Amino acid sequence: MKSLNRREALVFSAVTGGLLLMTPTGAFANAGDAMKTMEEFTGGKPVGDSKLIALEMPEIAENGNTVPLAISVESPMTPDSYVKRVIIISEGNPRPEVATFNFSPLSGVAEASTRMRLAKTQNVIAIAELSDGSLHMAKRQVKVTIGGCGG
C-alpha cells in the first residue's frame, strides 16, 4: 500500500473521524445509558442496594419477548410513609427505560408485576423512591436465549 501524502491523509482522517462521530453509540443501550437514566431518576443522589426492595425475574429467559417481572417494596403504605414510584431500567435494551410504577397510599402494598422485553442477556435494575425521599435499588441478571426486540 502506498503511503498517504498530506492531503490524502487529511481527507482520510476527516472521513474516518466523521464516521466515528456519526456512528451511534451502539443500537443497544449500554451500562452508560442506563446510568444516565438512573441519574435522571435519582437526581444524582447516591443509591445503594437495599433489602427493602425485591425484584423477581427468572434467571434464564428462553424467550426475550415476554419475561415476567415482579417488584415489591417493604413499606407501611400510609399517607405519612409510602412508596412513591419504582423505575425499571434495562442495561441491554435499545432504550434503558422500561416502565415507572407510581404507587399511592391507597395501594395498600407496594407490589406490582408485568412482562418485559429483553434484547439479550443483561442486568435489570429497579429503584424505588419513598415518600421520605430515600432511594432503594435492586438488580437482577437475566440470561436470554432468544432476544425479544425484533430485527
Partner 1 sequence: MAKSKPRVKAPKKAAKGDIVTIKTLISHKMETGLRKDKKTGEIIPRRIINKFVAQFNGKDIFSVDIDPSISANPYFQFKMRAEESGEFAFIWTDDNGEVHTKKSKLKVS
The residues of the shown chain that bind partner 1, judged by CB under 8 A, are 27, 65-67, 70, 77, 88, 90, 93-95, 97-104, 106-109, 111-117, 148-151
Residue 13 or residue 104: which is nearer to partner 1 going by CB? 104
Least CB distance to partner 1 at residue 121 (A)? 15
Least CB distance to partner 1 at residue 113 (A)? 5
Residue 34 or residue 138: which is nearer to partner 1 going by CB? 34
CA-CA-CA-CA dihedral for 85, 99, 70, 86, to nearest 10: -20
CA 33 – CA 40 distance, rounded (Å): 11
Give which of 30, 62, 60, 28 is closest to 143, Cα–Cα.
60
Least CB distance to partner 1 at residue 115 (A)? 4
The alpha carbon dihedral of 50, 55, 59, 61 has a sign of negative
DSSP at 4:
P
Beta bridge partners of 141: 123
Least CB distance to partner 1 at residue 68 (A)? 9
Residue 55 or residue 116: which is nearer to partner 1 going by CB? 116
CA-CA-CA-CA dihedral for 45, 51, 54, 58, to nearest 10: 110
Residue 114 or residue 121: which is nearer to partner 1 going by CB? 114
